[in-house]
């Protein structure tokens, strides 16, 4: 016996109808979930921006969100100078952002955020712009042979090598007197993070630690610039970036515990 057509058609109609209803319900749920997720993300971002910058890293969920927000921004806006691995580029004078050595202030989230907001020598009034590295040879303040001696002293500070003791002694005297180096780099050559003046007692270089590069820095001066981001990125993007850079530069190493996050300048 065959089923009469009259019986089949209404059933098919019913089936299609219930499928349509299911699809509509699923659709509504999906849209609602998307809207709720976006609302929650928006709320979390607003909470992150409203709090004191340094406190964000005490909240694991906000920190996680900040890192995932900042990663693509770093790749599109910062990696061209600071490198995809954040290790910097000495040809551009762009510092390594992955280590815990900071030119400016102490590397707290709030310090990093100030730099990201207003930049370094960016032309904005609030940018990091107290001083530059003067061209001490170019201006005639030091003779070329004095620049040579100062270079040898800086090399000695960073490597400990004492192959030309007389030049190193003369360079040390220039550092503390005629070159006025101590005024910006501090008399113990540890640098000064109010000025963004690097220290010379470590292996961390903005432009390079070989003889020729150091000589060039002292003779011609340096005027590194980082753009300001206050007009180009949102407050949430900038806060997220500061958190990301903080976390990334405070990763514990085998010899360093997670809590040992005191900074030094160099």
Closer residue to ligand HEC, CB minimum distance, 55 or 183: 183
> Min. distance of Cβ 239 from ligand HEC in angstroms?
11
Closer residue to ligand HEC, CB minimum distance, 22 or 68: 68
Q: Which residue is nearest to ligand HEC (CB)?
A: 224
Q: Which residues bind ligand HEC (CB under 6 A)?
A: 77-78, 80-82, 92-95, 97, 102-104, 112, 115-116, 120, 131-134, 136, 150, 154, 174-175, 179-181, 183-185, 195-198, 205-208, 214, 217-218, 222-227, 229, 241, 245
> Min. distance of Cβ 158 from ligand HEC in angstroms?
9
Helices (H), 51-143: 60-77, 79-82, 109-118
How far apart are alpha carbons 23 and 210 in whole angstroms?
68
> Min. distance of Cβ 196 from ligand HEC in angstroms?
5
How far apart are alpha carbons 264 and 266 in whole angstroms?
7
Is the distance from CB of 79 to CB of 230 less than 8 angstroms? no
- Pair of tokens at residue 222: 């340096």
- Pair of tokens at residue 85: 């691995």
Closer residue to ligand HEC, CB minimum distance, 131 or 201: 131
Query: Please, what's the largest Cα pairwise distance for the chain?
Result: 115
Closer residue to ligand HEC, CB minimum distance, 102 or 156: 102
How far apart are alpha carbons 134 and 139 in whole angstroms?
8
How far apart are alpha carbons 91 and 43 in whole angstroms?
41
Closer residue to ligand HEC, CB minimum distance, 62 or 229: 229
> Min. distance of Cβ 224 from ligand HEC in angstroms?
2
């Amino acid at each position: 016996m065959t089923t009469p057509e009259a019986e089949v058609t209404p059933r098919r109609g019913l089936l299609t109808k219930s499928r349509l209803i299911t699809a509509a319900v699923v659709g509504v749920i999906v849209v609602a979930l998307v809207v709720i997720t976006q609302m929650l993300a928006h709320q979390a971002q607003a909470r992150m921006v409203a709090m004191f910058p340094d406190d964000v890293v005490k909240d694991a969920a906000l920190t996680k969100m900040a890192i995932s927000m900042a990663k693509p921004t770093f790749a599109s806006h910062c990696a061209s100078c600071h490198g995809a691995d954040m290790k910097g580029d000495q040809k551009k004078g762009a510092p390594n952002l992955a280590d815990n050595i900071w030119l400016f202030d102490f590397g707290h989230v709030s310090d990093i955020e100030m730099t990201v907001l207003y930049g370094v020598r960016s032309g904005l009034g609030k940018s990091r712009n107290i001083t530059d590295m003067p061209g001490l040879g170019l201006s005639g303040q030091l003779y070329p042979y004095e620049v040579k001696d100062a270079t040898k002293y800086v090399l000695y500070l960073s490597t400990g090598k004492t192959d030309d003791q007389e030049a190193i002694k003369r360079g040390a005297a220039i550092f503390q007197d005629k070159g006025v180096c101590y005024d910006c780099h501090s008399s113990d050559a540890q640098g000064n993070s109010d000025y963004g003046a690097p220290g010379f007692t470590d292996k961390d270089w903005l432009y390079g630690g070989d003889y020729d590069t150091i000589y060039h820095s002292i003779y011609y001066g340096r005027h590194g610039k980082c753009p300001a981001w206050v007009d180009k990125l949102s407050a949430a993007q900038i806060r997220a970036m500061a958190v990301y850079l903080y976390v990334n530069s405070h990763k514990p190493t085998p010899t360093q515990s997670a809590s040992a996050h005191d900074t030094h300048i160099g």
